[in-house]
Amino acid sequence: MQRAHVWATLLLVQLFAAPPTAAVAATAGEVDVIVSRPDPTQAQTPAHKRLSVHGFFNLVKRTAASLTGYALPLTKCEKWSLPRDKLDAVKRAAARRGLLVTELGPGWDHVFQPTPPDLNIGGKQRSMIDLASTSRATTGVKIMSGPAPSMLEYALTKDAKAPAGGEAPKLTVALNDQTVLTIARSSVAIKPNLCIWRGEVEQTGGLVTLMWWPNGQMAGTVQDRGKIFSIRHMGGQFYAVVEMSAERMPQEHASLPAQLRGGDPNLRDDPLVQQGDASLLHRLVTAARPSLPAAAAPKPASPPAKVAATSKASPAGKDVVIDVIVAYTKKAAGNYGDVKRELVDLAIEEANHSFRMSNIDSIKLRLVHAYQTDYVEAGEHFQHLWRFADRGDGYMDEIHGLRDKYRADVAVLIVDDAAGCGLSTRVYADAEEAFAVVHHECAAASYSLAHEIGHIIGARHELALDKNMTPFPYGHGFVNGSKWRDIMSYKVSCGGCPRLPVWSSPNVLVKGEAAGTAELDNARVILEQGARVAAFR
Ligand SMILES: [Zn+2]
């Protein structure tokens, strides 16, 4: 071992024996590289010759003072800058140590590359593409190739600690043959096992969220000019980029089926579409179960907590954490390589981002459990919902025990049913009815998981759609003309304008414009009522 060490040192002394003045003058001739250790099970290097990436750095540094570098902690790699004329020798020395030196070429900031047209894909991948292609909202599916994990970590986290005010680092993201976007980073959060990157499309201001795990898996959403791109991992370096038309996405809540509207005057206004409130339909579901004991009749809305009970909101500085359990069907899961990460984690993260954007970041959602249920989507959204929420009806009855076990305040069922984006039991639900169903395409991409939980907490749609003033007269969504709308508002109220991850509030500014008024303040509802829901379990 000692002999190998000495050999490498001698080699490096030779390589870096240039006069110091020449080394300084050669700064322009520097090259940036990523130094990584390939999968150890495949390394041919004998164990006694291996060196850690940082050990190798220290070795090279001894003979090359101009060497600089820093760690990429998630992939356990390092990014170095070294004189270009030493690159080949360092590559050879690294190879003998079981390490890989990869040059950061001009395309280091390119996140996706096209794949060969004759790419062979497996059955699971084929099925993902087929499922995505059959969706009404889908306008294209393209298989793209992603970069190596260490390259991606470098691209996503470059200058993450640089002081604000400098030019934002940019990525070039190819989503298909025609769409190549330049996206400027607005934030990056580096967690122990996850990186969350957010940015805006340079020309259009479209919002981008990328989530990335150190094994190379990536997921996310890119919004651009009426299109929503959903990035789904297909295994290895391959991704399905599913292009959806925002216009063709389902409306937030499916309409009541025509045959159910007839003869019941109470349903004429369609409580599903206008209020997102499924409580009136509960008896339709229970009435269809003659062989089972009659479920409880629909309960009247619980009396609201006092509007003035601001003091019941979290004490200053203390987080209110709403624990969420998510069940997903096999069909919904089939649209993703890993539905828990690529969809559920993403949707929860988007909801938390919306709270931060709305100055109510003391409210947080936390995923406490996600699992596949054996329910097969059949019927309407309100039927999925009440089958999920009702006890002892023979559908998804495991949810109640799991919800108690994981102490989940709210339960969400993810389906593949594009009749609507989602539905919750009622506005201002109590603990027994804190259930919602969400269509997978909308859960993260149009913030529908957040929307449905918003209803459960007590938030309503914009006034144009829902004039109901209970339980909170100020609890309505906000639409800014035809520019944008908030999480609780419908696209019909603004001619199909984009939905932003904000809650209505006079205190929230979007590019200088307020996202609400004192009378339209769902952020206040979330802030004041979050603790009520967080105490359900
Ligand atoms: Zn709604």
Backbone dihedral region of 447: left (phi > 0), alpha (psi from -120 to 50 degrees) or beta? left
Give the Å distance between the CA of 271 and the centre of ligand 1. Answer: 10
Give the Å distance between the CA of 315 and the centre of ligand 1. Answer: 29
Rg of the chain on CA atoms, in Å: 27
Confidence (pLDDT) at 46: 75
Give the Å distance between the CA of 123 and the centre of ligand 1. Answer: 37
Give the Å distance between the CA of 277 and the centre of ligand 1. Answer: 7
Give the Å distance between the CA of 254 and the centre of ligand 1. Answer: 10
DSSP string, 117-185: TT----HHHHHHHHHHHHSTTEEEEEEEEPPPHHHHHHHHHTTTTSPTTSPPPEEEEE-SSS-EEEEEE
Consecutive 10-residue averages of pLDDT for the chain (537 residues): 46 44 52 87 68 91 88 93 92 92 91 88 92 96 93 91 81 93 95 93 96 91 96 93 96 84 64 88 82 46 40 63 98 97 98 98 98 96 97 97 98 97 97 98 98 98 95 98 96 92 97 97 98 97
The size of the chain, in residues, is: 537
Q: Compute the CA torsion angle 459, 465, 469, 475 (nearest 10 deg).
A: 30
Contacts of 145 (CB under 8 A, 6+ apart): 112, 113, 114, 115, 237, 238, 239
Contacts 24+ apart (CB under 8 A), 224-230: 224/179, 224/181, 226/496, 227/139, 227/179, 228/137, 228/445, 228/446, 229/175, 229/179, 230/441, 230/444, 230/445
Amino acid at 52: S
Confidence (pLDDT) at 311: 36
Give the Å distance between the CA of 389 and the centre of ligand 1. Answer: 18
Give the Å distance between the CA of 104 and the centre of ligand 1. Answer: 47
b/e 503-529 (16+ beta carbons within 10 angstroms → b): bbbbebeeeeeebbeeebbbbbbbbbb
Give the Å distance between the CA of 53 and the centre of ligand 1. Answer: 52
Alpha carbon distance 137, 227 (integer Å): 10
Write a three-state SS string for 48-95.
Answer: HHCCCHHHHHHHHHHHCCCCEEEEECCCCEEEEEEEHHHHHHHHHHHH
Give the Å distance between the CA of 439 and the centre of ligand 1. Answer: 13
Q: Residue 242 in 3-state DSSP?
A: strand
Give the Å distance between the CA of 460 and the centre of ligand 1. Answer: 7
Give the Å distance between the CA of 314 and the centre of ligand 1. Answer: 25
Give the Å distance between the CA of 187 and the centre of ligand 1. Answer: 29
Give the Å distance between the CA of 487 and the centre of ligand 1. Answer: 9
Task: Residue 513: name the closest of 473, 532, 485 by CA.
Answer: 485
Give the Å distance between the CA of 269 and the centre of ligand 1. Answer: 14
Give the Å distance between the CA of 245 and the centre of ligand 1. Answer: 20
Task: Residue 363: name the closest of 212, 525, 486 by CA.
Answer: 525
pTM score of the predicted model? 0.88
Give the Å distance between the CA of 426 and the centre of ligand 1. Answer: 10
Contacts of 413 (CB under 8 A, 6+ apart): 326, 327, 328, 329, 373, 375, 384, 385, 388, 396, 399, 435, 436, 437, 438
Give the Å distance between the CA of 197 and the centre of ligand 1. Answer: 28
Write a three-state SS string for 353-391.
Answer: HHHHHCCCCCEEEEEEEEEECCCCCCCCHHHHHHHHHCC
Confidence (pLDDT) at 9: 47
Give the Å distance between the CA of 436 and the centre of ligand 1. Answer: 11
Confidence (pLDDT) at 269: 66
Give the Å distance between the CA of 171 and the centre of ligand 1. Answer: 34
Give the Å distance between the CA of 369 and the centre of ligand 1. Answer: 24
Give the Å distance between the CA of 95 and the centre of ligand 1. Answer: 58
Give the Å distance between the CA of 276 and the centre of ligand 1. Answer: 4
Give the Å distance between the CA of 447 and the centre of ligand 1. Answer: 11
Give the Å distance between the CA of 229 and the centre of ligand 1. Answer: 23
Contacts of 155 (CB under 8 A, 6+ apart): 108, 109, 111, 147, 171
Are the beta carbons of 506 and 478 closer than 8 angstroms?
A: no
Confidence (pLDDT) at 43: 55
Amino acid at 164: A
Contacts of 223 (CB under 8 A, 6+ apart): 201, 206, 207, 208, 229, 246, 445, 498
End-to-end CA distance of the chain: 58
Give the Å distance between the CA of 139 and the centre of ligand 1. Answer: 25
Confidence (pLDDT) at 291: 58
Give the Å distance between the CA of 454 and the centre of ligand 1. Answer: 8
Write a three-state SS string for 246-282.
Answer: HHHCCCCCCCCCHHHHCCCHHHCCCHHHHHCECHHHH
Give the Å distance between the CA of 461 and the centre of ligand 1. Answer: 6
Give the Å distance between the CA of 340 and the centre of ligand 1. Answer: 24
Q: Is residue 163 classed exposed, middle or buried when 0-12, 13-18 and 19+ CB atoms within 10 A define those classes?
A: exposed
Alpha carbon distance 152, 219 (integer Å): 13
How far from 302 is each of 313, 448, 468, CA to CA, in Å? 19, 24, 15
How far from 161 is each of 9, 212, 510, CA to CA, in Å? 33, 18, 25
Give the Å distance between the CA of 55 and the centre of ligand 1. Answer: 56
Confidence (pLDDT) at 290: 59
Confidence (pLDDT) at 349: 97
Give the Å distance between the CA of 140 and the centre of ligand 1. Answer: 28
* DSSP letter assigned to residue 499: B
Are the beta carbons of 79 and 69 closer than 8 angstroms?
A: yes
Confidence (pLDDT) at 296: 45
Alpha carbon distance 327, 373 (integer Å): 6
Confidence (pLDDT) at 286: 87
Give the Å distance between the CA of 488 and the centre of ligand 1. Answer: 6
Give the Å distance between the CA of 212 and the centre of ligand 1. Answer: 30
Give the Å distance between the CA of 463 and the centre of ligand 1. Answer: 12
Confidence (pLDDT) at 257: 80
